[in-house]
C-alpha cells in the first residue's frame, strides 16, 4: 500500500479506531516477544517461531529490520515477509524496530522509513519503534538534538495515525550512569511517540526478586515523572531472559501488573525459557488507565469495568500503601459481581472471593490477617476479575479503605 498524500500511511493491520489525529495503542498492549537480526533460531523458520509465540499468548512481535552498522536497510527481507504473513494469519501484530547511530541522520531516517514502508505480498508492519540507545555520537546534547530531529521527521512522514514507539534506555540505567545521556529528552519524545517502550533490563543492575520489583517500579515512576503524565502509555521490556531467574521474572511481571502498564515483554524470544512463560502469560492486555495504578488508600472513586464510570481497569485494580501492622479490615463497595468472578489478593496471597451481587453493594468488610501484611515496605491489595481481553466482565469497586 502506498503513501496516502499528506495524511501519511494508512492505518495499520489491526489498529483500533484512534481518536482524531492520534494513533491506536492496540499494538503495544499485552504480552510481546522480541526478535533481533542476529537471532538465527527465530529466522530459520518464522512460521514455527510465530506458532510458538502464539501458543504462549504473545499478541505483538517486535521484529528488528536493521541497525546503523548494517549494509542493508532490511537485513532479512524474505524472512521479514514470512514473519508478517505468519503473524497476521494468527491476528498478531508486528512492530518493526531499527537502531540508529545518529552519526548519519539521513541514513537513519531512510532505514526507519524502509521499515515503515516495507511491503511483502501485501503485508506490512503494524507499527514502528525507534531503538534509542547508541552512544557512538557525542556529546549527549548533540545526540539529543539529532534524536528529536529524526523523530519529528519520522512522524511527519508516517502521519499522525501511524503508531510509533520510543524504545528508550533503562531510566534507572540513565540515572546510574550519569555520563551516558544526561538530559535525556523524555518530554520531547512524549510529544512525538504514542508509547514508551523502555529497556528496563534489570539483569544489568540487580539480583533478587525484591530488587527486580523495585527497579521495575522505579523505571515506571521515572517515565511518569519526567513526562509529567502519570498515564503515559508504557510497554516495559524486562531483563535478558536467560540471565533472570524464574522468581525475578515473576517479580518483574508483578510490578508491571501493579502499575497497570499497557503490556510487557522480556528480551528476547530465543532466550526465554519454558518456565518463564507461565508468569509472562499473566500480563494483562490493558487499555491506557486513568487513574494510574497503584491507587492510594483510601480511594473513593469507582474503578474497574463499570459503564458510565470507569472502563480503564477491566482486569484488575491494585491499591498500594506503606508498612502496616495487622490485622486490618478491608472495606469496599462492589459492583455487579458474579459468583467466583472477582477475588481479593494481598501481597499476591489469596484472601477471599468477593461475594456476588447486582448493582452497587452496601459496604463490605474483609479481615486481612497480620501474616499477610508487611510491617515495613509496601503492601499491595488487588481486586482481580476473571474476564480476559476482549471479553471483559462487568465489575467494579469503590470506597476502598483499610481500618
Domains and CATH numbers, the chain: 5-280 (3.20.20.80), 295-402 (2.60.120)
Task: Check whether 16 has a pLDDT greater than 70.
Answer: no
Residues 6 or more apart whose CB falls under 8 angstroms from that of 21 comprise: 160, 161
**Shortest CA distance to 157 belongs to which of 3, 1, 2, 12?**
3
- Rounded distance between C-alpha atoms, residue 146 and residue 169, angstroms: 16
Burial of 390 (0-12, 13-18, 19+ CB in 10 A): exposed
| Average pLDDT, rounded, for the chain | 94
Query: Quick one: average pLDDT of 135-150?
Result: 97
**Of 241, 255, 203, 233, whose CA–CA distance to 56 is shortest?**
241
For the segment 22-47, the average pLDDT, to the nearest whole number, is 97
Model-level pTM greater than 0.85?
yes
pLDDT at residue 337 is higher than 60 = yes
Across 327-331, average pLDDT: 97
93-99 and 60-67: which strand pairing? parallel
**Is 9's pLDDT higher than 50?**
no
Reply yes or no on whether the pLDDT at 19 is more than 70: no
User: Which runs of consecutive H residues, i.e. helices, occur in 90-199?
Assistant: 105-116, 140-158, 171-176, 186-190
DSSP tag of 284: -
Taking the C-alpha atoms of residue 390 and residue 229, their distance in angstroms, rounded to an integer, is 26
Q: Measured between alpha carbons, how far is 255 from 213 in angstroms, rounded to an integer?
A: 6
DSSP E strand boundaries for 241-326: 263-267, 295-296, 303-305, 316-321
pLDDT of residue 177: 97
Which residue in this structure is represented by grid cell 505468519?
A: 86
For 351-384, the pLDDT digits (tens) are 999 999 999 999 999 999 999 999 999 999 999 9
- Per-residue pLDDT tens over the stretch 54-83: 999 999 999 999 999 999 999 999 999 999
What cell numbers appear for 9 in the block?
Answer: 500511511
| Cβ-based burial of 122 (10 A; exposed 0-12, middle 13-18, buried ≥19) | exposed
Residue 21's pLDDT is: 52
Taking residues 121-134, report their average pLDDT.
Answer: 97
- What is the spatial distance between Cα 116 and Cα 118, in angstroms, rounded to a whole number? 6
| Average pLDDT of the residues in 111-132 | 98
pLDDT given for residue 403 in this prediction = 92
Q: Are 396 and 342 in contact (CB under 8 A)?
A: no
Contacts of 16 (CB under 8 A, 6+ apart): 24, 26
Residue 193 and residue 175: Cα distance in Å, rounded?
A: 22
Reply yes or no on whether the pLDDT at 2 is more than 80: no
Amino acid at each position: 500500500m502506498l503513501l496516502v498524500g499528506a495524511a501519511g500511511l494508512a492505518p495499520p493491520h489491526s489498529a483500533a479506531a484512534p481518536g482524531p489525529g492520534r494513533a491506536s495503542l492496540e499494538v503495544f498492549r499485552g504480552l510481546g516477544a522480541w526478535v533481533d537480526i542476529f537471532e538465527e533460531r527465530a529466522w530459520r523458520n518464522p512460521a514455527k517461531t510465530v506458532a510458538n509465540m502464539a501458543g504462549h499468548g504473545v499478541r505483538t512481535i517486535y521484529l528488528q529490520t536493521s541497525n546503523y552498522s548494517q549494509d542493508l536497510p532490511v537485513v532479512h527481507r524474505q524472512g521479514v515477509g514470512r514473519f508478517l504473513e505468519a503473524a497476521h494469519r494468527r491476528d498478531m501484530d508486528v512492530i518493526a524496530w531499527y537502531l540508529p547511530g545518529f552519526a548519519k541522520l539521513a541514513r537513519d531516517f531512510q532505514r526507519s522509513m524502509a521499515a515503515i514502508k516495507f511491503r511483502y505480498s501485501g503485508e506490512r508492519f503494524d507499527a514502528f519503534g525507534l531503538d534509542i540507545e547508541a552512544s557512538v555520537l557525542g556529546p549527549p546534547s548533540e545526540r539529543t538534538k539529532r534524536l528529536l530531529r529524526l523523530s519529528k521527521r519520522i512522524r511527519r512522514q508516517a502521519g499522525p495515525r501511524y503508531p510509533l514507539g520510543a524504545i528508550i534506555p533503562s531510566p534507572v540505567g540513565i540515572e546510574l550512569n550519569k555520563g551516558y545521556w544526561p538530559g535525556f529528552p523524555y518530554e520531547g519524545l512524549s510529544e512525538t511517540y504514542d508509547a514508551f517502550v523502555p529497556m528496563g533490563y534489570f539483569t544489568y543492575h540487580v539480583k533478587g526478586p525484591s530488587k527486580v520489583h523495585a527497579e521495575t517500579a522505579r523505571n515506571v515512576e521515572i517515565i511518569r515523572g519526567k513526562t509529567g503524565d502519570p498515564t503515559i502509555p508504557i510497554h516495559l521490556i524486562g531483563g535478558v531472559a536467560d540471565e533472570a531467574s524464574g522468581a525475578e521474572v515473576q517479580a518483574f511481571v508483578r510490578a508491571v501488573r501493579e502499575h497497570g502498564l499497557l503490556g510487557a515483554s522480556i528480551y528476547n524470544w530465543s532466550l526465554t525459557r519454558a518456565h518463564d512463560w507461565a508468569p509472562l502469560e499473566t500480563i494483562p492486555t490493558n487499555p491506557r488507565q486513568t487513574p494510574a495504578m497503584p491507587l492510594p488508600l483510601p480511594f473513593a472513586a469507582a474503578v474497574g469495568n463499570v459503564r458510565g464510570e470507569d472502563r480503564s481497569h477491566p482486569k484488575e485494580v491494585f491499591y498500594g500503601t506503606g508498612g502496616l501492622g495487622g490485622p486490618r479490615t478491608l472495606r469496599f463497595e462492589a459492583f455487579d459481581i458474579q459468583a467466583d468472578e472477582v477475588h481479593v489478593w494481598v501481597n499476591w496471597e489469596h484472601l477471599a472471593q468477593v461475594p456476588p451481587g447486582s448493582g452497587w453493594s452496601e459496604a463490605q468488610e474483609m479481615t486481612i490477617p497480620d501474616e499477610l501484611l508487611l510491617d515495613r515496605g509496601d503492601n499491595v491489595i488487588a481486586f482481580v476479575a476473571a474476564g480476559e481481553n476482549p471479553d471483559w466482565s462487568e465489575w467494579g469497586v469503590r470506597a476502598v479503605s483499610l481500618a
